[in-house]
Homo-oligomer: A and B are copies of this chain.
Amino acid sequence: MNKVQSDFLSLLENHRSIRHFLDKKIPDFDIRRIITAAQSVSTSSNGQAFSIINVTDQEMKKKLANYAGSQKQVEDCSNFLVFCADLFRLEQISQRLNVEMKKVLDSTEMFLIATIDATLVAQNTVVAAESLGYGIVYTGGIRNNPEKVSELLNLPYRTFPVFGICIGYPDPNRIPEKKPRLPLGAVFYQNEYPNFDEVYPYINKYDETMKEYYRNRSESKREDTWSKTITDKRKIPRRMNMKSFLEEQGYPLK
């Protein structure tokens, strides 16, 4: 492995979510360079069924921070990028060409395609941004109030906000420790999905790893395993209006 290759893998491995930013704006030139590089990502049938809203307006960021559940980093970051699944563009084009598409656009499959396209370009955006030294954090919280977010951003029918990404200059004094991930044996399987009895030992091991991590990290210390943390987090039904929101927004998941 040469130096450049090892630098690439280190960049990926050193990812951490940055929630504390310096009060400094990223040059527009860099943002455009990041998005341009990200756009080369794979996309189903070259459909590019996504849109990115680059929110720099301070009042709008403040509102979005609030909609996302008082997430101050949305207000403090330089750019808040909202990644949208977008079948509106395809619908507009099909109408111009007089092609009937309703059944297709209403389908669960096209919902999947647009969601995946938006997510792929988002992750390439993250890698591009981090390679230039910027910090990011994904913000799924905008799905707490998807109607308000869509209204604020003027999102048309057949688009919806999948998530946002805060991007900015990381505050060097508030860079968190790297969070350990599940051992390979708990997520990476050979030729078929194993019996779960073979997986449990890896989860038990991770529970211990995360207990140590939560105990020793510099902020929000606590005493918990991963199993306990993730079930505590997930057991509360959240965003149960997602289905009706999607239907309203042109994704009836048929």
Contact = CB atoms under 8 A, between A and B. Distances in A.
Interface stretch (A30-38, A65-73, A167-175): A30-38
A104 B8 contact: no
B35 A13 contact: no
A99 to B, nearest CB: 5
A40 B230 CA distance: 17
Contact of A191 (B39, B47, B57): B57
A240 to B, nearest CB: 6
26 contacts: A4-B131, A7-B8, A8-B11, A9-B132, A12-B38, A12-B124, A14-B40, A15-B40, A39-B187, A46-B179, A48-B187, A52-B188, A56-B190, A112-B143, A115-B115, A116-B162, A116-B163, A120-B123, A123-B123, A152-B192, A153-B191, A154-B192, A154-B193, A156-B196, A243-B254, A253-B253
Interface in A23-69: 32-33, 35-42, 44-48, 50-57, 60
Contacts of A133: 5
A32 B116 CA distance: 24
A238 B109 contact: yes
A181 B100 contact: no
A22 interface: no
A226 B49 CA distance: 13
Contacts of A33: 9
Contacts of A47: 230, 233-234
Given A36-B184, A153-B192, A123 B119 contact: yes
A126 interface: yes
Contacts of A196: 88, 92, 156
A56 B192 CA distance: 10
